[in-house]
């Protein structure tokens, strides 16, 4: 082990595979082996990878729905307060509580708060902002956006043992295995 890696904490072990089928197969193997802190990387989405990785359904939809309700209720409350309580105007004898006239504002605030919920929910759920990932220091990992298929098991995983992970990747047919340090 070099002196450069002795003073750093291990982030995990990354392995490169030849094609999407091998990557999907190794994701199933990793998941069945009991690992929970792992990820796969490919230059394009792979159909069925979420099932292979045993990923849970995202909570983002509920976050967006909650923000949509906030936008809807906030728009009605705002319009009611402005039109009925704060500054009621009698225009051609129309009622102060004139819901059809408020539809565009209700729609706009519902969409606006849903969009904010989506953006900030994604930041929160994805653990952003994270300005550097140790995988970016791996030279071969640059192929992940071009023609590389990678799987990485993080050292934070309860089941992580360096030798066990390397053996798992070797048996799965990895073309390259590398330890990644912080």
What is the average per-residue pLDDT within 149-160? 95
Is residue 3 pLDDT above 60, yes or no?
Answer: no
Average pLDDT over residues 127-153: 91
Q: What is the pLDDT of residues 85-100, one digit of tens each?
A: 998 888 888 888 888 8
Contacts 24+ apart (CB under 8 A), 28-35: 28/52, 29/168, 29/172, 30/151, 30/153, 30/168, 33/159, 33/168, 34/159, 35/153, 35/157, 35/159, 35/160
d(CA 36, CA 144): 21
**What average pLDDT does the chain have?**
92
Q: What is the reported pLDDT for 1?
A: 47
Residue 95: how many CB atoms within 10 A of its CB? 10
Q: Which residues are paired to 153 by β-bridges? A: 13, 38
Confidence of residue 110 (pLDDT cuts 50, 70, 90): very high
Q: Which of 74, 73, 28 is nearest to 54 (CA)?
A: 28
pLDDT band at 6 (very low <50, low <70, confident <90, very high): low
Inform me whether the pLDDT recorded for 7 exceeds 70. Answer: no
pLDDT digits over 65-83, tens only? 999 999 999 999 999 999 9
Q: How far apart are CA 63 and CA 121, in angstroms?
A: 7
Is residue 24 scored above 50 in pLDDT? Answer: yes
Give me the architecture of the 3-57+133-181 domain, per CATH. Answer: 2-Layer Sandwich (3.30)
Entry pTM: 0.76
Enumerate the CATH 3.30.70 domain ranges in the chain, comma separated: 3-57+133-181
């Amino acid at each position: 082990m070099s002196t450069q890696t002795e003073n750093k904490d291990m982030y995990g072990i990354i392995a490169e595979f030849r094609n999407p089928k091998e990557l999907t197969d190794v994701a199933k193997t990793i998941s069945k082996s009991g690992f929970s802190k792992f990820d796969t990387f490919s230059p394009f989405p792979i159909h069925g990878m979420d099932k292979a990785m045993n990923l849970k359904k995202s909570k983002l939809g509920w976050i967006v729905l909650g923000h949509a309700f906030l936008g809807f209720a906030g728009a009605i409350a705002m319009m009611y307060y402005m039109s009925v309580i704060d500054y009621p105007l009698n225009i051609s004898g129309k009622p102060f509580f004139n819901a059809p006239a408020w539809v565009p504002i209700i729609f706009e605030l519902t969409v606006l708060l849903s969009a904010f919920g989506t953006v900030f929910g994604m930041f929160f759920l994805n653990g952003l902002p994270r300005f550097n990932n140790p995988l970016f220091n791996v030279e071969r990992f640059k192929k992940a956006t071009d023609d590389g298929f990678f799987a990485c098991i993080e050292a934070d995983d309860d089941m992580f043992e360096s030798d066990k992970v390397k053996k798992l990747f070797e048996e799965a047919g990895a073309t390259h295995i590398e330890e990644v340090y912080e």
